[in-house]
Structure 1
């Protein structure tokens, strides 16, 4: 299969996944808030973030395994592949055991922290039920996910996951509408999500010859004397840790310092911008493996393809966030119409989310190259500095400005790290000048600001009474704002790629 076909399949499958994920994200939370209250929605959002912290136990294993598997898959060395998978599976089993212990501790702690706003027993059992899927992931699928990702088959993961999410949306919607309690709904959701692991396992077993990920079944020589040592596991772990601290800490801090209702408000805005982020990440889906292979075999081609990819990505990012800036207010008004137990209309949060999203997602092309090249150790100090800056500013700013302070802290740390990633990618991996990527940033950011300024008044004058009106407005806005970015893309593609 050609590289272009692989990219198309991976991006298409991931776009489908993100679309269905966003669909569930927009359908279920309003129903949960109206049926069970904002406190319950805030509790669910907080549990997800706390569990995300616990999954750090496996962080670094998958990333290191993916880089290691490139060589085995390129050379079709099944023996080396199996040794890498055995080492990966061994690490996942150890981490899975630790995760079970940590999950029990989290259930007790979170039940105590939120007992004034919601039933302690409900919180306790919700943590255990929601964490059950992660336990299965540790023990059943972690090493297989690394294999499929390294083999440029993320479309398999995305397609199966999309199907499970679609089934989950349908079942949860029916259960909530029928009046079942939230714990019953979550148990059903967990069972549906668990079923996808059987499909993953079935695919891998039938599409890889002589696959083996258990030390006991490998040749005795490799079992005792030549077990594979995953390189940069702890360095990759550091990157995963810092990333999760940054992206998961907001709801945790809001839960600890503010309230579950504040967490629910933040979660609604985070849901919208999270869907936008996932759409942008779809453009990079599968690119890591492709760049990983080309950096090893044809660096010049990798350099040329990255320049073209970066230009396309930045123009798409500009168009997406321009549309978001113009359409967010009417959407929030529609989406939170029936959510009356908390103030969901907060323009300051909307503006800050927009700025943070633009700066954060500008790093995606550079981050993809860094991961493809396996430069975890070399970029570890910068990642630690970003995390330290983010957490320190968050702890200070949340005391002064509440939820808005969390976003201001993110803006500060993202400005540093995103620009640093561009510099490192150009200088130390691709041997390119940094000037053009930085100029591209400035041009795209200026185009976003100018287009929103011009379009704000006309869009604000259009009345939006229902989702059909909003969709019509979205189509008009999308087509209109595409013009400046299409022109920009045409102009920059006329220039040489380097």
Structure 2
């Protein structure tokens, strides 16, 4: 049953992320072509300000989900109901806070952002983009996280796939018909209202949760620590766009957002492969199956490091040609930023490398013990970005992200080694050395691959060539240092044919 649910979650999550990536490239391109870089920058800037709440499942939601692992494993319906009711109350309260936050944002944002749009234009756009966020926390957050904790995340992933496709088609038609950006974004919000409604209906039908359960002791431990960790995570993730909004230009925000489209797509692919693993590690930790836990963690660490090195290595070679093709015909900003792209890719490669250690912290419910790491990383990113943005612009904020991600990755690996998985830190050091070795050889082997006349066809041919070369490097180096893992991967692929 574990393997079947893991397979269902991983497959549906992977399909969701691929769909998200495809749709994520289509809509910004339409906005860029029809509304220009400044409007695209404004939309992405507002999105980042709203993501303080839009990514709430990384904070309190993560604690809510982690708290459910043990009662779900024990089939303790009383405890499950108490956690569910507590979580729903908290999300409802946060929805009300979100409403107040949006009102403040409407009043303040038009004056702090370095933009040339009128107050009414900007304020109404914020309203249009915030509707779905409010509905998500008021109606659907608890249900989605509950299904994920019960290793049935594929239910909500499938709903998201449908709404993403529906939204992309609707926005394409509206833009083609000449609709304003406000109508386009309001349509998106209304379509995304489908998600919480469907999840509520499913949970009500398939689970016997007592939604009137009364409890004396708070069933979700470390709730506020999770919120603190979440805020620090969002600050870390959103600093670049916010700093560029305040201290630079919306054109630079637009340039950053286009590069981040590629980076975000890669991040989503990695998150897709780890969504099911987190629930599995959470269950193993709750049951204290220590040997199996170490086995799963060790495999996850190697797989994520290897995938990160391969995928981000290829991206480092291919991202500039892709961006040049993607932004062809757009001349109101300079999208050719090679130094910025290299630093940003390394920074988010570190983000993906930290995933197994981040997953272990969430599965072990160690929020209180680790929240200072998130705060320190957030402050490091913010200070470095603000100090460097005036002199180096996009490169400055990318350096801030790299410094913060590197610190967080190393800190988490050490913490997990000493407090949760008890995985030897020398395994992490060895893995990092292998990652660097692969990267150096891969860069040298592909440095002469050039794309002179930009087109998607020529880019695809070059991408295949780069992937083959990096793939060979990854296999050869791992055959030397991680032969047993490589054999296990090959055997697993054969068995799934």
Q: Structures share a fold, TM > 0.5? A: yes
Matches within 5 A, 1:50-199: 50-55=49-54, 60-114=59-113, 117-199=116-198
Query: C-alpha separation between the residues in 1 aligned to 2:113 and 2:320?
Result: 31
1:339 maps to: 330
2:341 maps to: 350
Matches within 5 A, 1:368-447: 368-447=359-438
1:235 maps to: 225
Kindly provide the CA deviation profile for residues 303-330 of structure 1, in whole angstroms up to 9, marking residues without a partner as x: 1111111111111111101211121121
2:48 maps to: 49
Whether the aligned pair in 2 keeps the contact of 1:322 and 1:451 (CA below 8 Å) is yes
2:462 maps to: 473
Q: Give the TM-score normalised by the residue count of structure 2.
A: 0.93
Structure 1 SS opposite 2:334? coil
Q: CA deviation at 1:180?
A: 1.0
2:26 maps to: 27
2:477 maps to: 488
Q: Give the TM-score normalised by the residue count of structure 1.
A: 0.93
Kindly provide the CA deviation profile for residues 4-63 of structure 1, in whole angstroms up to 9, marking residues without a partner as x: 222222121111111111112211112211211111100100010000124577763312
Unmatched tracts of structure 2, length 5 or more: 487-497
Pairing 1:12–2:2 present: no
Query: C-alpha separation between the residues in 1 aligned to 2:55 and 2:154?
Result: 24
Structure 2 SS opposite 1:242? helix
Structure 2 SS opposite 1:285? helix
RMSD over aligned Cα atoms: 1.9
Query: C-alpha separation between the residues in 2 aligned to 1:381 and 1:227?
Result: 26
Structure 2 SS opposite 1:345? coil
Q: CA deviation at 1:492?
A: 4.1
1:270 maps to: 260
* Aligned residue among 283, 288, 294 for 2:278: 288
Q: CA deviation at 1:463?
A: 4.2
Higher mean C-alpha displacement, 38-47 vs 426-435:
426-435
Whether the aligned pair in 2 keeps the contact of 1:39 and 1:118 (CA below 8 Å) is no
Higher mean C-alpha displacement, 408-417 vs 365-374:
408-417
Whether the aligned pair in 2 keeps the contact of 1:152 and 1:289 (CA below 8 Å) is yes
Q: CA deviation at 1:170?
A: 0.9
Query: C-alpha separation between the residues in 1 aligned to 2:452 and 2:250?
Result: 33
1:205 maps to: 204
Query: C-alpha separation between the residues in 1 aligned to 2:431 and 2:80?
Result: 40
2:493 maps to: none
Kindly provide the CA deviation profile for residues 129-175 of structure 1, in whole angstroms up to 9, marking residues without a partner as x: 11111110111012112211211122222211111111111111111
* Residues 447 and 322 (structure 1), Cα distance of their counterparts in 2 relative to 1, 3 Å cut: same
Whether the aligned pair in 2 keeps the contact of 1:356 and 1:410 (CA below 8 Å) is yes
Query: C-alpha separation between the residues in 1 aligned to 2:114 and 2:297?
Result: 51
Q: How many residues align?
A: 485
Whether the aligned pair in 2 keeps the contact of 1:69 and 1:150 (CA below 8 Å) is yes
Whether the aligned pair in 1 keeps the contact of 2:248 and 2:390 (CA below 8 Å) is no
* Aligned residue among 307, 311, 319 for 2:302: 311
1:322 maps to: 313
Whether the aligned pair in 1 keeps the contact of 2:361 and 2:367 (CA below 8 Å) is yes
Query: C-alpha separation between the residues in 2 aligned to 1:81 and 1:93?
Result: 18
Whether the aligned pair in 2 keeps the contact of 1:70 and 1:151 (CA below 8 Å) is yes
* Residues 103 and 58 (structure 1), Cα distance of their counterparts in 2 relative to 1, 3 Å cut: farther
